[in-house]
Chains A and B, each alone.
Chain A
Amino acid sequence: MEKFDILSAIAAPLLEANIDTDKIIPARFLKTIQRSGLGKFAFYAQRYDENGNENKDFILNREPYRHAQILITYENFGCGSSREHAPWALLDMGIRCVIAPSFADIFFNNSFKNGILPIVLPRAICDQLVEDCKLGANARITIDLKKQQIIRPNGETIDFDVDPLRKQLLLDGMDDIAQTLQYVKEIDQFEEKRKENQPWFPSIQSKELNP
């Protein structure tokens, strides 16, 4: 996982609430068995016309927003299906940070696990950032994760919250599994205790499935 410390980038506004994961990446593109290469399918229905050509009206097809690494959007971003292809697609198209008044739970979690930082801010502040987006290519927004600050193009700062553990993992670029395996002794003990307390607890044996 790529480390996330300071990101200074173009931000694109997606002024819609309830952008669901079907919109972020339609189900028909989920058939891949790899993680990479999904960026070209992101926002497919909005990004391309029926012949597969880019739709010039869609913001992420326009300069300078096609180089955006930050998205500013509205409530309940990432709702719908739990597909992790959504953050993979965003990441693959270069997005490292999404700012919105609220997120769907699963998408929120999946983002961190893939090195994307979701930031929750009130709608009024999102709207301020939207105004910043409109300033063009020189108007970079900076996310300083260590300080938990967004630096606007005019130099003003906005503080944001982030879970301390997740912050550390993002800063270190360390995956969750490595972190959890530090507790393998505790997991072993949990299993031992259950064997004692719930001796009836069944396991799944292959032979019963394929007689």
Chain B
Amino acid sequence: MKARTLFDKLWDSHVVEKLPNGTSVLYIDRHLVHEVTSPQAFEGLRMSHRRLRHPEATLAVIDHNVPTTDRDQPIAEEQSRQQIEALQRNVKEFDVPFIPLLSDKQGIVHVVGPEQGVSLPGMTIVCGDSHTSTHGALGALAFGIGTSEVEHVMATQTLLQKPAKNLKIEIEGTPKVGITAKDIILAVIGKIGTAGGTGHVIEFTGSVVRNMDMAGRMTLCNMAIEAGARAGLVAPDEITFEYIKGRPFAPKAKDFEQAVAYWRTLATDEGAHYDRVVQININDLEPMITWGNSPEDVIPITGKVPDPAEIADESQRKRKQRMLEYMGLKPGQPIKGVKIDAIFIGSCTNSRIEDLRIAAQIAKGRKVADHVWALVVPGSGLIKKQAEAEGLDKIFKEAGFEWREAGCSMCLAMNPDRLQPGQRCASTSNRNFEGRQGPDSRTHLVSPAMAAAAAIKGELTDVREMM
């Protein structure tokens, strides 16, 4: 048989029917649902008198709209409450497994899926959310879909899809102290651009990825979408199996062994063809930070804000000039030392226990600068509990960070956690678009360690000086 990539195998094993135009009816194993992109899909089912084909392959959570304080109070914002209540009604009507707000298991959908063992290697996983690519870290084909596709999966447990191209990103070298998966993925996006992965599924390979823990792999795959890719992938290996073992919805005992035997067959075959290969060596990589309004606008913390005047293409030049204006930065200015108003540690990119541990190490025994609002938001209730068991919450609180309940929080301006116009934030999330953290907010994407360091210094800073 022809040598195949991990993506090829995931794809081939889920094709139900090939249609004449090259589209396939692709079987979907897991459908994750949240309150923002699902109401219109449920509305569609109801209107067309269709049923939800497999509730037991579906899991619903609330994360985008939820406040991260005072959970026992009714939700103040009218529209947030409406979306949440709509989901609560819909999961009852269609019998969908649902994690309620007050459960320990509640959290960001892309944190909850792997944590519960709902997302597993070899699966196809979809959610009406672009960062579904996160689950690819387990060796699953996971991608974001729109609401009419959400309805399509609900009604048919399939999607109409065309195969993607294979892009291999090979990451080699030895990271210096202070370099995390976040810095690596920012560097990758800086290198290939936000359209660099368009039409492709990225498989992350190389010794750096093989040695990386699951949290780091999830950070990589999470941001594969910011490189324009349809999905990110890491081949499942011992680290993956160890992570999955014992999770609530993972196969148990003999079933687990059978599953692992299958999962081992998924890795890319020797000699399989990739449409493109990008190699990156991280020996000299420094902590990375974005300066503009696209994740590709990234520089090392020791670097300077680029000068758009040097860009030949006019529309590109204008765009970057507008970014500088929006971000309140000057060409040639060192990024280090720029004063900030807030930091946010959280989001499906960087809210796992590993992320919180690194940030706590920096925060320990230090104080958040007086003018900085510092928010730490665990990705799930279980992570929060774990962090509290390790005493991380105390470290944060003593240093002056706010310790919150799980949710998307300040990753996007949909819940009470948001910036005021003009405020500048070092954020561990994945998007620095205009208005993302509130109207006219300014976002610099960084790793958790860098965000914690910025909180303490009160300005964008090099975390290595504090290690």
Most buried by A among B57, B160, B316: B160
B92 to chain A, nearest CB (A): 11
Q: Could you tell me the distance in whole angstroms from the C-beta of A178 to the nearest C-beta in chain B?
A: 8
B100/A177 in contact, CB under 8 A: no
Point out the residue from A31, A35, A180, A187 that lies within 8 Å of B79, measured CB to CB.
A31
Do B315 and A17 touch (CB < 8 A)?
A: yes
Q: Is A114 an interface residue (CB 8 A)?
A: yes
A37 to B98, CA, bound (A): 29
Nearest Cβ on chain B to A123's Cβ, whole angstroms: 10
In the complex, which range does the number of interface residues on chain A fall in?
A: 35 or more
Q: A32-B79, A84-B146, A200-B259 are in contact. Are A210 and B36 (CB under 8 A)?
A: no
Q: Does residue B230 face the partner (Cβ distance < 8 Å to A)?
A: yes
A106 touching B130 by the CB < 8 A rule? yes
How many Å from the CB of A166 to the closest CB on chain B? 8
CA gap between A187 and B294 in the complex, in Å: 40
B21 at the interface (CB under 8 A from A): yes
* Contacting pair A177 B37 (CB below 8 A): no
- In the complex, A79 Cα to B148 Cα: how many Å? 18
Q: Which residue of A lies closest to B161 (CB)?
A: A109
CB-defined contacts of A45 to chain B, threshold 8 Å? 434-435, 439
Residues of B within 8 A of A181 (CB): 155-156
Given contacts A35-B40, A165-B20, A205-B97, contact A18 B25 (CB under 8 A): no
Q: What's the Cα separation between A29 and B315 when bound, in Å?
A: 28
Q: Are the C-beta atoms of A33 and B249 separated by less than 8 Å?
A: no
In the complex, which residues of chain A have a beta carbon less than 8 angstroms from the beta carbon of B199? 105
Indicate whether A74 sits within 8 Å of B255 (C-beta atoms), given known contacts A22-B436, A31-B83, A106-B130: no
> In A52-70, which residues have CB < 8 Å from any B CB?
none
Kindly state the interface size class of chain B when it binds its partner: 35 or more
Complex interface residues of chain A between 25 and 83 (CB less than 8 A to chain B) = 26-28, 30-35, 45, 74-76, 79-83
**Hey, which chain A residues are within 8 Å of B155, CB to CB?**
177, 180-181
Task: Tell whether A16 pairs with B43 under 8 Å between CB atoms, given A27-B435, A180-B158.
Answer: no
Nearest-neighbour CB distance to chain B for A107, whole angstroms, equals: 8
A110 adjacent to chain B (CB < 8 Å): yes
- Check: B409 CB closer than 8 A to any chain A CB: no
Interface set, chain B 409-427, CB cutoff 8 A to A: 412-414
- Interchain CA distance A70-B391 in the complex, whole Å: 57
A81 to B97, CA, bound (A): 26
Q: Which residues of chain A are within 8 angstroms of B105 by Cβ–Cβ distance?
A: 209
Indicate if the CB atoms of B316 and A205 lie closer than 8 Å.
no
Interface check B367, CB cutoff 8 A: no
Tell me, in angstroms, the Cα distance from A202 to B130 when the chains sit together.
25
Q: Is B285 engaged at the interface, CB distance under 8 Å to the other chain?
A: no
- Chain B residues whose CB sits within 8 angstroms of the CB of A164 once the complex forms: 20-21
| B369 at interface by CB-CB < 8 Å | no
Q: Mark B142-175, 1 if CB is under 8 A from A, else 0.
A: 0011111101100111101000000000000000
Q: Are B25 and A183 neighbours in the complex by a CB distance under 8 Å?
A: yes
C-alpha spacing A17/B412, complex, angstroms = 23
Count contacts between A and B, CB distance < 8 Å. Answer: 192
- The one of A15, A27, A76 in contact with B412, judged by C-beta atoms closer than 8 angstroms, is A27
- State A74–B314 Cα separation when bound (angstroms): 13
Measured CA separation A81–B282 after assembly (Å):
29
The proximity string for A residues 80-124 relative to B, scoring 1 for CB distances below 8 Å and 0 otherwise, is 111110010000000000000010111001100110000000000
* A80–B56 CB distance below 8 A: no
B422 smallest CB distance to A (angstroms) = 13
Distance, CA A176 to CA B129, complexed state (A): 20
**A28 contact set on B, CB distance < 8 A:** 413-414, 439
Q: In the assembly, what is the distance between CA of A114 and CA of B40, in Å?
A: 13
A198 interface contact, C-beta 8 A: yes
| A66–chain B nearest beta-carbon distance, Å | 23
Q: How far is the CB of B443 from chain A (nearest CB, A)?
A: 12
Known: A16-B315, A84-B37, A210-B100. A22 touches B148 (CB 8 A): no
The answer to whether B25 and A186 have CB atoms under 8 Å apart is yes
Q: Does B17 contact A (CB under 8 A)?
A: yes
Whether the Cβ atoms of A33 and B86 lie closer than 8 Å is yes
Do the beta carbons of B27 and A204 come within 8 Å of each other? Answer: no
Cβ-defined partner of A204 (8 Å) among B57, B65, B431: B57
Closest-CB distance, A78 to chain B (whole angstroms): 11
A75-B146 contact, Cβ under 8 Å, with A27-B435, A208-B249: no
Knowing A33-B40, A33-B83, A80-B433, the reply to whether A202 touches B251 (Cβ < 8 A) is yes
Q: Is the CB of B23 within 8 A of A165?
A: yes
Once the chains bind, are B23 and A33 in contact (CB under 8 Å)? no
A-contacting residues, B78-135, CB 8 Å: 79-80, 82-83, 86, 95, 97-100, 103, 105, 117-118, 120, 128-130
Closest 3 CB pairs of A and B: A31-B79, A200-B255, A84-B146
Given contact pairs A33-B86, A79-B228, A82-B37, enumerate 18 new A-B contacts (beta carbons under 8 Å): A27-B413, A82-B144, A104-B228, A106-B145, A110-B146, A110-B149, A113-B149, A163-B21, A163-B23, A164-B20, A165-B19, A176-B160, A184-B156, A198-B262, A200-B259, A204-B57, A205-B97, A208-B249
